Amino acid sequence: MTADRRAEELLGRMTLKEKIGQLSQAGSTMTCTLPGFEADIETWVSEMLQGKLPKEELDRRLAMCKENLREDEIAAGELGNFVNLYEDEKIAAVQEVAVHKSRLGIPLFIGVDVIRGYRTMFPTPLALSCSWDMECVRIMAATAKREAYDGGVNWTFGPMLDIARDGRWGRIVESPGEDTYLACRIAKVQVEEFQREEEDGCRLMASAKHFIAYGAVSGGQDYNTVDLSQRQLFEVYLPPFRAAIEAGAGAVMSAFHDLNGVPCTMNRWLLTDILRKQMGFRGFVVSDAEAVKQCVTHGCAADEREAARLSLEAGGDMDMSSLDYAKYLEQLVQAGELEEAVIDEAARRILTKKFEFGLFDREYTYGRLRDGQPMLSEEHRRRSLEVGKRCAVLLKNDGILPIRSEVKKILIVGALAEDKQALLGPWAFTGSAEPVATIVGGMKKYAEEGTEVRYVRGFGADADCSGFEEACEAAGWADIVIAVAGEKEYMSGEAASRANLHLAGCQERFLDGLVRMHVPTVVVLINGRPLAVGCLQENPGIGAILEGWHLGTECGNAIAEILYGHYNPSGKLTVTFANEGGQEPMYYNHPNTGKPGSDFKFTSKYQDVPVRPLYPFGYGLSYTTFSYGEFLVEKERITREETLKCSVKVRNAGSCAGEETVQLYIRDVVASCARPVKELKRFEKILLQPGEEQEVRFELPAEEMGFYDCCCKYVVEPGEFRLYAGTDSENVLERTFYIV
Ligand code: NOJ
């Protein structure tokens, strides 16, 4: 029997309460049992996430609390889904109640943020996108899927597909970057791999989030309002979701904010007209955490009862964490204010996915699951290392890197070099810092015999630079200094927007002082967002800058392999680095304006910073150099039904093997709406041996060169186009072609 039929049959046997239970998702609650110890878990978690309370202290306090896993609600059939439960035994316990102790035995959806690993953590999603390597994306999803599934998770709140153009927004770290085409590619691979069923039934249902345009929050301030044209919505923000839906994503998570005045959670136009009717989505919509009740705070529902009705009627099938559906839907039906058919429809969608994703076909026995597949296995760590190496981006290099074998005394400075939690990075709740490879550890592990690696703390990513003298003294000993600067893990991620994009605290001053020791210095950045690090770029005392992001469990080893030259860096930026936070949102594919920024006074620019970004989209250096040669367009005039075919020759002009991401952009020169100065349309990552040349061929149907016109209709307009091929969005070769 098909999943739809099985769902229908089950629905016919359910009470109203049981149906509403399927529409509800909640996490466990905690109560502290120690007398005299006031438990305020929300405050503790908030303090931990702001770096005010050490994670270990939070864990210690939580261990003293009693957790309520809501077994009674589950047994009564009043709760059908759990959120963010990730200890195997607890998942097994709640699933046991649902399957064996509730009347209908419906298994729970266990939804968790598996966005970059489960126990073995991979680079942050932003870092992962910098690999421009879909095999890396696939490996991350496959590994995360295996570990999460073996632990009992069956649903991931990922991929996160918010186009992010503003470095101030903390959640840029979770995003696939600023480009829509790249995000579409990533969306497809992640959804397919998370949902692909392995022989033993291993798979996760994926959910595309956050619907929609969360990355466009005003001023980059998290949870803020979004006022956006429909053209932008269709052209920039919707396509990655369309790609996820086409790949079969089972769920979509609506976003916290209001879009043009209406909270996404209760936005019927968005959740029903656009998502279902226009985009053909056939899964279910889950709200973001507590977003149903936040409709009241938005000022768009009088109370939680109304918020529940408006959200459900808009097309929001499942309420995450508010428990407003559980509290009010039955009352609303009884009062004649809500049709039971709306509840039926939502329950049908959810149950269909439970059948489709094999929840009813799995044996729920804890202990059996992980046979032969240990979490954090050597193999999984190896995968994280291989992927991690491909995500770091070399931003500057005067030749100091890779570290030469004559260098025998290496000094590492900066607390982040040893800070496992920071190297692991944000959005890693299911992982643990304990197994993280530090930079100090990695540099020692890969050091050649006879090379000594020393570490002094010197400074942190905060205001503590008390170790300046000690660091300078130690630098006097060293042949090379590796200074590790950037952000702690809690400085990016949810609710972690920053107005100032400089290195926080005293880091800039510290580094400036340190290079006055005249010891060759490399800066490794550990951070979640594009930072305003122009002072490092301009400082001649800093020989190299490696953007190391937060690479996860193998972070320190990945960085060490790059610094020693065991791996030739190949990552390229997927977000523009602005010179100053005040330039944000800064992104490469903006329209030209009537007065494009230049040296001339009356042009679009800020007078106190360069017009060009610090580092453009697509930028990243290698230990070798690539030269771009013959760039050919097969046919310069194509019809709207035809495909543009072009090729470019790329040669490794240096002396070591290296990978290059060849990028192809277009520009529609004259159109009825102002078009971006460049739009990424294709890319290919290739490996070239020294002296080797490869012809990279691209095919681009004219159909993909259109845009949403002023009436929001997709059109491909005939006329002149530019075609660019190059190593980043600025360094390109140029050709002209026409659509006729
Ligand atoms: C809130 C976040 O916005 C969302 O991305 C996440 O999936 C949920 N919390 C559950 O953790």
State which amino acid sits at residue 154. N
113: Cβ below 6 Å to ligand 1?
Answer: yes
Using alpha carbons, select from 113, 198, 110, 210 the residue that is nearest to residue 169. Answer: 210
84: Cβ below 6 Å to ligand 1?
Answer: yes
- Which of the listed residues 109, 112, 157 should we mutate to test ligand 1's pocket, taking the one with most ligand atoms within 8 A of CB? 157
- Which of the listed residues 109, 207, 209 should we mutate to test ligand 1's pocket, taking the one with most ligand atoms within 8 A of CB? 209
Whole-model pTM over 0.95: yes
Q: What angle do CA 398, 400, 402 make, to 5 degrees?
A: 120
User: What distance in angstroms lies between residue 425's CA and the mean position of ligand 1's atoms?
Assistant: 16
DSSP state at residue 590? -
User: What distance in angstroms lies between residue 220's CA and the mean position of ligand 1's atoms?
Assistant: 18
Predicted confidence at residue 190, as pLDDT, reads: 98
Predicted confidence at residue 503, as pLDDT, reads: 98
Residue 259 C-alpha from the chain's centroid = 21
Confidence of residue 462 (pLDDT cuts 50, 70, 90): confident
Q: What is the rounded distance in angstroms from the CA atom of residue 529 to the CA atom of residue 423? A: 14
State which amino acid sits at residue 575. V
Predicted confidence at residue 33, as pLDDT, reads: 63
The mean pLDDT value of the chain amounts to 95
CB 193 within 8 A of CB 141: yes
Mean pLDDT of 49-53: 82
> By 3-state DSSP, what share of the chain in percent is helix, strand and coil, each rounded to 5?
35, 20, 45
Summarised one tens digit per residue, pLDDT across range 164-222 is 999 999 999 999 999 999 999 999 999 999 999 999 999 999 999 999 999 999 999 99
User: What distance in angstroms lies between residue 407's CA and the mean position of ligand 1's atoms?
Assistant: 46
User: What distance in angstroms lies between residue 286's CA and the mean position of ligand 1's atoms?
Assistant: 11
Protein residue closest via CA to atom 4 of ligand 1: 288
Atom of ligand 1 nearest to the CA of 209: 5
User: What distance in angstroms lies between residue 111's CA and the mean position of ligand 1's atoms?
Assistant: 10
288: Cβ below 6 Å to ligand 1?
Answer: yes
With a cut of 60, say whether residue 721 has pLDDT above it: yes
Confidence of residue 738 (pLDDT cuts 50, 70, 90): very high
DSSP state at residue 12? T
Summarised one tens digit per residue, pLDDT across range 365-395 is 655 455 555 789 999 999 999 999 999 999 9
Confidence of residue 426 (pLDDT cuts 50, 70, 90): very high
Give the position of tokens 């829509």: 180
User: What distance in angstroms lies between residue 160's CA and the mean position of ligand 1's atoms?
Assistant: 10
Percent of the chain residues past pLDDT 70, beyond the cut? 98
665: part of which helix (H) or strand (E)? strand 658-668
Atom of ligand 1 nearest to the CA of 174: 5
Q: What is the dihedral of CA 79, 85, 89, 92, to 10 degrees?
A: 40
| Residue 426 dihedral angles phi and psi, to the nearest 5° | -75, 170
Protein residue closest via CA to atom 11 of ligand 1: 113
Buried b (16+ CB within 10 A) or exposed e, 187-198: bbbbbbbbbeee
| Residue 389 dihedral angles phi and psi, to the nearest 5° | -60, -30
Summarised one tens digit per residue, pLDDT across range 100-151 is 999 999 999 999 999 999 999 999 999 999 999 999 999 999 999 999 999 9
38: part of which helix (H) or strand (E)? none
Q: Determine if the peptide bond prior to 400 is cis (ω within 30°).
A: no
Mean pLDDT of 565-585: 98
Confidence of residue 281 (pLDDT cuts 50, 70, 90): very high
State which amino acid sits at residue 224. N
Summarised one tens digit per residue, pLDDT across range 583-607 is 999 999 999 999 999 999 999 999 9
- Which of the listed residues 25, 175, 253, 430 should we mutate to test ligand 1's pocket, taking the one with most ligand atoms within 8 A of CB? 253
Percent of the chain residues past pLDDT 90, beyond the cut? 91
CB 622 within 8 A of CB 660: yes
Summarised one tens digit per residue, pLDDT across range 65-79 is 888 999 999 999 999
Counting runs of H as helices and runs of E as strands, what totals does the chain give?
A: 23, 28
Summarised one tens digit per residue, pLDDT across range 631-660 is 999 999 999 999 999 999 999 999 999 999
Predicted confidence at residue 632, as pLDDT, reads: 98
494: Cβ below 6 Å to ligand 1?
Answer: yes
Protein residue closest via CA to atom 1 of ligand 1: 289
Q: What is the rounded distance in angstroms from the CA atom of residue 88 to the CA atom of residue 367? A: 9
Using alpha carbons, select from 487, 370, 492 the residue that is nearest to residue 428. Answer: 492
Facing residues of 110 across strands?
A: 82
Q: What is the rounded distance in angstroms from the CA atom of residue 159 to the CA atom of residue 593? A: 33
CB 418 within 8 A of CB 439: yes
User: What distance in angstroms lies between residue 428's CA and the mean position of ligand 1's atoms?
Assistant: 12
Predicted confidence at residue 373, as pLDDT, reads: 57
Look up 288 and say whether it is catalytic.
yes
User: What distance in angstroms lies between residue 188's CA and the mean position of ligand 1's atoms?
Assistant: 21
Protein residue closest via CA to atom 3 of ligand 1: 288
Predicted confidence at residue 63, as pLDDT, reads: 81
User: What distance in angstroms lies between residue 157's CA and the mean position of ligand 1's atoms?
Assistant: 7
- Which of the listed residues 217, 494, 497 should we mutate to test ligand 1's pocket, taking the one with most ligand atoms within 8 A of CB? 494
Summarised one tens digit per residue, pLDDT across range 623-637 is 999 999 999 999 999
Buried b (16+ CB within 10 A) or exposed e, 342-375: bbbbbbbbbbbbbbbbbbbebebebeebeeeeeb
Summarised one tens digit per residue, pLDDT across range 659-699 is 999 999 999 999 999 999 999 999 999 999 999 999 999 99
Buried b (16+ CB within 10 A) or exposed e, 462-487: eeebebbeebbebbeebbbbbbbbbb
User: What distance in angstroms lies between residue 496's CA and the mean position of ligand 1's atoms?
Assistant: 14
157: Cβ below 6 Å to ligand 1?
Answer: yes
Question: Of 222, 288, 317, 728, which residue is the catalytic one?
Answer: 288
Protein residue closest via CA to atom 7 of ligand 1: 157
209: Cβ below 6 Å to ligand 1?
Answer: yes
